[in-house]
Amino acid sequence: MILFIAKVYKPWTDERDSSKRVASIDGASRDYVINPHFMTDITTNTTYGSNLKYSDNFLDRREKWSTMIIDKTPANIKTYMDATPNSNTIKLPIYPNNNPTKTAVDTTIQWATIVYADRYNPDPDNKCWVCYIQGAFKRREVLTALAIEDVMRLVRSGNTTTTFTSVHNFFSTSYKSTNIIV
């Protein structure tokens, strides 16, 4: 399974709070990096590609599914679901307190915990918001010193060997320190 960039057409409606991530002011679509691990009920949309339900955190029973229309066909999505990345983790340069004037700190996370990545409007070619799951019930949205295309590139290329001092384990809330992934 591997992340991919998709044009998300309005509405991307969140059933929990009825908010829309693709607002009418955004135009017809908006690019997001999305994770096929968070998808279900994928059907063909003859105009755009696919209709599907997407969860911001399927591990939390309180979370409702959002409805989305994207530019990828169900066959494209199946290809992303069947893809094997080179590494389980990626290193994201995250700005402390989401402040782009501070120096970004490299933080290693499991890429499978990434829910989505969205462009940072003031500087979309160099920064993006990344939302990921930390533990079973906590979502974090962080500002990174990467464009969404760079996040995709890191997930696809991976690291053959990386040393890091923290990792957020996707399937448990346990915290590990000073690990080496080979």
Co-location of 135 and 161 in the same domain: yes
Residues of the domain holding 36: 4-82
Task: Give yes or no for a contact between 116 and 147, defined as CB atoms under 8 angstroms apart.
Answer: no
The pLDDT of residue 4:
92
| Domain final residue, candidates 82, 116, 145 | 82
Task: Give yes or no for a contact between 72 and 19, defined as CB atoms under 8 angstroms apart.
Answer: no
Co-location of 170 and 98 in the same domain: yes
Residue 81 dihedral angles phi and psi, to the nearest 5°: -65, -35
Give this prediction's pTM.
Answer: 0.77
13-55 confidence digits (pLDDT tens)? 666 555 555 555 455 788 899 999 889 999 999 999 999 998 8
Taking 50 as the threshold, does the pLDDT of residue 160 lie above it? no
Co-location of 41 and 63 in the same domain: yes
Please give the average per-residue pLDDT across 133-148, as a whole number. 87
Co-location of 109 and 174 in the same domain: yes
| Domain final residue, candidates 33, 54, 82 | 82
